[in-house]
A and B are shown apart, each in its own frame.
Chain A
Amino acid sequence: MKNQWIYYYTGMVSVKVTGKGLERFINTLTREKVSIWRVKRHGVSAMSFEIKVEDAHKIRNVVRNSGCKIEFQRRTGLPFLMKRAIKNIGFFIGAFLFLIVITLLSNMVWGIEIKGADPATEYKIRKTLDEIGVRKGKFQWSLGTPDAIQKSITDRMDELTWIGVELQGTTYHLQVVEKNEPEKQTEYGPQNLVAKKKATVVDYFVEEGKTVVSLNEVVSPGKVLVSGTIGREGEEQLVPARGEVLGETWYWTEVKLPLTTNFQVYTGNEVRKHAITIGKFNIPVWGFGKVEYKQSVTEENKKPIKFLKWNLPISYQQSTIRESENETRVYTEKQAYTVAREMARKDIKSLIPEDAKIKGEKVLRQLVKDGKVNLIVHFQVIENIAEPQPITQGDSE
């Protein structure tokens, strides 16, 4: 028994036969090795069946001697389906274009929503977004990642404390936190000024209150510097003590600096490549050829292409290959000490308040060990050591 489904791929024809001696006609056909199937009887003098397309001319020879009439009816199978498909190609092109348009539209920016900003800030944010190219109707793959957008907005706008950028479908959602500068306290309750840390008092400037400290006095943390209790004994009044007390404080810092350091630096040469990734396959679109850098750093930026709300397994990939070089920096001991001291100074500046001044510095220890310079530097710093401490009822007695 043969499989007729195979004939689907080569094409089949349905035939209608009319006349007398139809059974004999079918017997002759089978003897001629024409395979026929789905034989049906229609009334007394008609039958229908299906044959292969190739057998169509064979059947004509048989008909000539039989006295029957044949009529070819429907042609089915893949070749005829293809023919019909070609005839209706406009429809297929339309369907294909529709998919392309939907995909393009799914990858556009359709809205930008800003939450948590007052109208003025919102206007500014929209302007900034416009400058960096984020606007309605742009393609998402031409824009940076939400993180990159977030960074460039934060860099451009000072009045924002934080901005969160999130891409949901085709809309960018921006969550804004504005900087709310705290209002300056204008009214003070009764307070003392006390020492913040151990220091030697070098200068003071008192706006209100009774000065308790004297110059060159060594104070320990918590000691009252300017008292908020004024007036003669028995007629004391409580006032908010205000002022600055400058004290000399000490800091020390330790710096370790290797004499030889290896750096990786970029030479400035770079190659950009664009590709479309389908699953695991990479189809280069622009930037062919091998990169002949001895050393390089590759940065990849992948953008998935969306269809409606789904991410397709296709993505657009942009990679930047930057040539890099190794560079070795060698310090002599003398140079290393200078650099290390500079580093110590920078280090101390991050530790002390902004308005503090460095009065003097002293190297406590310097030695070279294991190819590293070890340096301990001691700093004398002048800073405001006064700290307000409210006077509560219990304290005033």
Chain B
Amino acid sequence: MAKRWGQRVRNWMTQTMDLPQDVMMDLPRITMIGQIHIYIENHRGLLTFSEKELRLLLKQGQLLIKGKAFVIKMILPEEILLEGKIEHVIYLEE
């Protein structure tokens, strides 16, 4: 009950005060440069990584990125920059 209340308050605040939603609601912020780069902030860790697939843990659910020739250009606790040919970006609900 308390969690839902917190969620509601946040939702209301972002709507009324016009704050960026990624800051307020711990959502990932994804920036893509064409097909070649994808930059994700606010992730919660690496789940799987191969040349064709990257799976990231988010606060809610997971993010699955599919493509070819993946190389992680940089990884920090909450940021990741992936290079390669990106074909799909999929949200997986739990």
Q: Which residues of A contact B (CB under 8 A)?
A: 1-2, 4, 22-24, 26-27, 30-31, 33, 35-41, 47, 49
Number of A-B contacts (CB under 8 A): 47
Verify A37–B75 contact, CB threshold 8 A.
Answer: yes
Q: Beyond the given A26-B46, A27-B46, could you list 7 further A-B residue pairs with CB under 8 A, ordered by the A residue number?
A: A23-B45, A23-B46, A23-B49, A39-B71, A40-B72, A41-B50, A41-B70
Interface residues of B toward A: which range?
10 to 19
**Chain A residues within 8 Å of B77, by CB:** 30-31, 33
Q: For the complex, what is the distance from the CA of A1 to the CA of B46, rounded to whole Å?
A: 18
Q: For the complex, what is the distance from the CA of A190 to the CA of B48, rounded to whole Å?
A: 124
Instruction: Scan residues 52-79 of chain B and give those whose CB is less than 8 A from a CB of chain A.
Output: 70-77, 79
**Chain B residues within 8 Å of A30, by CB:** 75-77
Closest to B74 in A: A37
Selected A-B contacts with CB under 8 Å, 24 pairs = A1-B79, A23-B46, A23-B47, A24-B46, A26-B46, A26-B49, A26-B75, A27-B45, A30-B75, A30-B76, A30-B77, A35-B76, A37-B74, A38-B71, A38-B73, A39-B49, A39-B71, A39-B72, A39-B75, A40-B51, A40-B72, A41-B50, A47-B49, A49-B72
Q: For the complex, what is the distance from the CA of A39 to the CA of B70, rounded to whole Å?
A: 9
CB distance from A302 to the nearest CB of B (A): 56
Verify A23–B81 contact, CB threshold 8 A.
Answer: no
| Among all A-B residue pairs, the 6 with the closest Cβ atoms | A39-B72, A23-B46, A27-B45, A41-B50, A37-B74, A30-B77
CB distance from B4 to the nearest CB of A (A): 30
How would you classify the secondary structure of chain B's contact residues: helix, strand, loop or mixed?
A: strand
Q: A1-B79, A1-B81, A41-B51 are in contact. Are A35 and B46 (CB under 8 A)?
A: no
How would you classify the secondary structure of chain A's contact residues: helix, strand, loop or mixed?
A: mixed
Q: A23-B47, A26-B46, A41-B50 are in contact. Are A2 and B74 (CB under 8 A)?
A: yes
CB distance from B18 to the nearest CB of A (A): 27
Verify A41–B49 contact, CB threshold 8 A.
Answer: yes
CB distance from B59 to the nearest CB of A (A): 15
**Chain A residues within 8 Å of B48, by CB:** 23
Q: Which of A2, A27, A35, A40 makes the CB contact (< 8 A) with B71?
A: A40
Verify A37–B45 contact, CB threshold 8 A.
Answer: no
CB distance from A42 to the nearest CB of B (A): 9
**Chain B residues within 8 Å of A22, by CB:** 49
Verify B46–A37 contact, CB threshold 8 A.
Answer: no
**Chain B residues within 8 Å of A1, by CB:** 74, 79, 81
